[in-house]
Structure 1
Amino acid sequence: MAMIEIFVPDIGDFDEVTVIEFMVKVGDTVKADQSLITVESDKASMEIPSSAAGVVKEIKVKMGDKVKQGSLVLMLEVAGAAEVKTAVAPAAAAQVAPASVAPVPLAAAAPIAVAGPVDVRVPDIGDFKDVAVIELMVKVGDTVKLEQSLLTVESDKASMEIPSSAAGVVKEIKAKVGDKVNVGDLVLVLEGVAGAAPAPAAAPAAVAAAPATPAAAQASVAAAAAAPAAVAVPAHAPGGTTLGLPHASPSVRKFARELGVPLNEVKGSGLKGRITEADVQGFTRSVMSGAVQTLAIAAQAKASGSNDGAGLGLIPWPKVDFAKFGPIERKELSRIKKISGANLLRNAVMIPAVTNHDDADITDLEAFRVSTNKENEKSGIKVTMLAFLIKACVAALKKFPEFNSSLDGDALIYKQYYHIGFAADTPNGLVVPVIKDADKKGIFQISTEMGELAKKARDGKLGPADMSGATFTISSLGGIGGRYFTPIINAPEVAILGVCKSQMEPVWDGKAFQPRLMLPLSLTWDHRVIDGAAAARFNVYLGQILGDFRRVLL
């Protein structure tokens, strides 16, 4: 038995990456190519594989460490060697691999000049198989540079950009969005190539049983340079301009998507301009304070003024000198209305929305609510009908899960959590705080959280986390009045419930008219996901729960 050192191989165009996960511990037996640690760059998470099989004797890095090509990861005890050996050379040309250890032939190091068509294939992307193509970053006819990113793939752990191994003009694209690809799969064909690098060779090998000659070892080391896992990329924006793709880790990208933050408008403060979670939060605060506008908000503001509406094929917005008809006063929109306006316009235009109107008998529930508040008046907690509505909606969402879903391209994402948003009226406009995990909370806890969130909304102190993650929204006008209305769906949700002020009405019970307290319900739903029959059943079931709240227990 002997010890060998496992180093970080060539991980592409990165100076340093951060260790974010350990996948083995001291004493574990690992196989060749088994992942040891996960590292994260400014653009992707990657798993570092073992180049040999053996037993982990000592781990040389810790969580949060910065590592790069050649950094020592761990010490491995292997069979068939007599002394400490190097499994992966810290630098490809710096040393010769020991005779008893097979080096890591991932890809050829030196680019070569090639004329004519060249196949570009998926390089070694680590311990991933059948990764999905989620974005194409070039099109036929585009001129690409060596190591320019061509497409983005996504595994169950990370998003990665696949770079070009050559420079030239894209003649044919062999992959499409949704395809599953692996190492060596053909991505596209280039024409007029210069600086092409051969396709990746086999994965790292285990310790060789037979000794190798020095000449062979030197030749192997010279070839031990890995293909880049992810490279800083120019991406093509609409209109033919070229933009730098935002640098952010998959976790930050997910966080930005949840908040609706356009990453290409966020300035990164991390290494090489990397966008951090703090940058996303700071951008959101700036937008909320009115210090900056997103491009979407600016476009909506323009549309409400002098935009010609050409992007939607509309006739020009009317330009009128209102002062010639009489006295006027001009006031700027509040920052909340500026922010919400762009989203409302998009949702109203893009979602094929339909509204069902119904009434729910809440006579008994209102009596129970009043008596509950009287019994608990010393606690200071006041239960509102909206708290009962939230619990009733959770029960209905569980029975009809498509209402608790979101569209993602051609797929439907069914959420296993129940975060309910409720519209809160403030002096500056409408905001939507969110009650998280409403299915796990009682009426009193929901009422308490609603009161706290409503106060923060009135004081202008709601944070991004307070308003993100909703799966379904309730817009209540119960304290104001009205009968029915059509609320706009809050994308990416697929439905929203509008409620108005309840009123006493005569209801026929089969023998006589009885005075009953009726609550108007207006359910707006996305017809791409939900059909009329499902919407009617949802409303009926919701009315049944509100009529007899014991059904929540069923």
Structure 2
Amino acid sequence: MSTQPLVIPRINANDDELALLAIHVAVGQSVVEGQVLAEVETSKAVVELNAPCAGYVLRIDMSAGHNVPVGQPLLWLGKNATDLAPTPSASPALDTSVIGKRRITTKALLLLRQLNLDEREIPSGDKELTREDVERYVLSRPAGSERGEHAPAPSEDNPADEQMVELTSWERAMCDSLSWHRDEAVPCYLEVPLDVEGWDHYASTAFSGREAMVSPLLALMAYRAVEAVGYFPRANAILSGRHYHFRQSVNLGFMVKTPKGLVMVSVNNSNRMDTFEFVSALSRLQRRAFSSKLRPDESSGATLAFTSLANVGVVRHMPALPPKCSLIIAHSAPQDSLARLGVTYDHRVLDGDTAASFLNFIANPPKP
């Protein structure tokens, strides 16, 4: 074929639309295979779209700063600059208007479109309009004020003095994740004492001679969980129908709180790494999560998980099981010199004795 489209891909199963953040090429420009042409945002990360082949940009059918449908052509490439792209198919036109001089965050832009609001009505800082600005404006409007044409009409479930706000793709992904815990697993919880002094000493000496920006304590505890799978293989298994599925690769999911929300990064093939390789890989994924640069494979596929709320002083928490995981380890802050290490586990796969033995293995650091 002399022409080829770059299509908006389906990256997450639950995302029918993606936010188109940027387009890095112009019509007539020559590109090479693999060149980054655009960036889209999923519910979990920012993803780069690469040129499927070398050629010239013949036509661009979308504009940055908008929500765009999965499966539709973003742009067309041709072998020659004189090739003609196919005639656009009939579809709802995208709004390509320029929005003022204020920067509008992606979340704010999506909410404006969902509520059919004019951004010029909404006060904010001089340089940026955020989702929080939009929500404050919506809540400040008097009851019965004029609604956008797409706003839900009052009903028993949506009284006139309430405003319905649709979930963002990020929030939908979180709800879908929690639904697996509710609908698929039989979750139980237990905890054991944590050897705080022993772990602190181990973390301070594990990488002697190697400079570390932050304490590797949590990463080392997470790697201890990877090692524990060798003794307790059911920790890395799931139940499907009448069969247990024992995964050969241990993909350690680690919860990371980012400015955009909670995300779980996945250190894939953790059981094929040594301690330093694992800690380095997890650190790199945490940095990518904070900058919204995770690839889809870096935030999916976890087979067991680890989370901590110690940094905000939580002394006990019972996390929900991530999809396709039979356990998640919960690390907490010490209270009166006592700290607990907890685990939420799927009782269909693990009994209490096995879960406790697995957790006790992690609660104590490796011996020198």
TM-score, normalised by the number of residues in structure 2: 0.56
For residue 469 of structure 1, report the CA deviation from its aligned partner. Answer: 2.3
Q: Which residue of 2 aligns with 1:492?
A: 324
For residue 412 of structure 1, report the CA deviation from its aligned partner. Answer: 0.7
User: Judging changes above 3 Å, is the alpha-carbon distance between structure 1 residues 321 and 461 closer, same or farther for their aligned structure 2 residues?
Assistant: same
For residue 523 of structure 1, report the CA deviation from its aligned partner. Answer: 0.6
Q: Which residue of 1 aligns with 2:198?
A: 364
- 1:339 corresponds, among 149, 152, 173, to 173
1:30-67: CA deviation from partner (whole Å, max 9, x where unpaired): xxxxxxxxxxxxxxxxxxxxxxxxxxxxxxxxxxxxxx
For residue 434 of structure 1, report the CA deviation from its aligned partner. Answer: 0.9
For residue 500 of structure 1, report the CA deviation from its aligned partner. Answer: 1.2
Equivalences for residues 415-494 of structure 1 within 5 A: 415-494=247-326
| Other structure's SS at 1:399 match | coil
Q: In structure 1, what is the Cα distance between the partners aligned to 2:232 and 2:207?
A: 31
Mapped contact 2:332–2:339 kept (Cα < 8 A): yes
Q: In structure 1, what is the Cα distance between the partners aligned to 2:248 and 2:232?
A: 12
The answer to whether the aligner puts 1:386 opposite 2:218 as a matched pair is: yes
The answer to whether the aligner puts 1:523 opposite 2:343 as a matched pair is: yes
Equivalences for residues 265-284 of structure 1 within 5 A: none
Equivalences for residues 128-527 of structure 1 within 5 A: 261=13, 288=44, 291=68, 319=157, 321=159, 323=161, 333-372=167-206, 375-377=209-211, 380-503=212-335, 505=337, 518-527=338-347
1:326-350: CA deviation from partner (whole Å, max 9, x where unpaired): xx88765443222221221232233
| Other structure's SS at 1:523 match | strand
Q: In structure 2, what is the Cα distance between the partners aligned to 1:423 and 1:445?
A: 19
Q: In structure 2, what is the Cα distance between the partners aligned to 1:475 and 1:336?
A: 19
Q: In structure 2, what is the Cα distance between the partners aligned to 1:534 and 1:318?
A: 48
Mapped contact 1:497–1:522 kept (Cα < 8 A): yes
User: Judging changes above 3 Å, is the alpha-carbon distance between structure 1 residues 291 and 430 closer, same or farther for their aligned structure 2 residues?
Assistant: farther
Q: In structure 1, what is the Cα distance between the partners aligned to 2:43 and 2:198?
A: 45
Give the greater-gyration-radius structure (CA): 1
RMSD between aligned residues? 3.6
Q: Amino acid of the residue matched to residue 197 of structure 2?
A: T
Q: In structure 2, what is the Cα distance between the partners aligned to 1:389 and 1:383?
A: 12
Unpaired segments ≥5 residues, structure 2: 1-9, 18-33, 47-66, 71-154
The answer to whether the aligner puts 1:550 opposite 2:302 as a matched pair is: no
For residue 471 of structure 1, report the CA deviation from its aligned partner. Answer: 1.2
Q: Amino acid of the residue matched to residue 367 of structure 2?
A: R
1:210-254: CA deviation from partner (whole Å, max 9, x where unpaired): xxxxxxxxxxxxxxxxxxxxxxxxxxxxxxxxxxxxxxxxxxxxx
Mapped contact 1:486–1:498 kept (Cα < 8 A): yes
For residue 448 of structure 1, report the CA deviation from its aligned partner. Answer: 2.1
TM-score, normalised by the number of residues in structure 1: 0.38
Q: In structure 1, what is the Cα distance between the partners aligned to 2:356 and 2:190?
A: 7
For residue 410 of structure 1, report the CA deviation from its aligned partner. Answer: 1.1
Q: Amino acid of the residue matched to residue 386 of structure 1?
A: L
Mapped contact 1:499–1:521 kept (Cα < 8 A): yes
Paired residues, number: 237
Q: Amino acid of the residue matched to residue 550 of structure 1?
A: K
| Other structure's SS at 2:307 match | strand
| Other structure's SS at 1:347 match | helix
| Other structure's SS at 2:281 match | helix
| Other structure's SS at 2:230 match | helix
User: Judging changes above 3 Å, is the alpha-carbon distance between structure 1 residues 262 and 483 closer, same or farther for their aligned structure 2 residues?
Assistant: closer
Q: In structure 2, what is the Cα distance between the partners aligned to 1:459 and 1:487?
A: 25
For residue 287 of structure 1, report the CA deviation from its aligned partner. Answer: 5.5
1:414-435: CA deviation from partner (whole Å, max 9, x where unpaired): 1122110100101221111111
- 1:536 corresponds, among 356, 359, 364, to 356
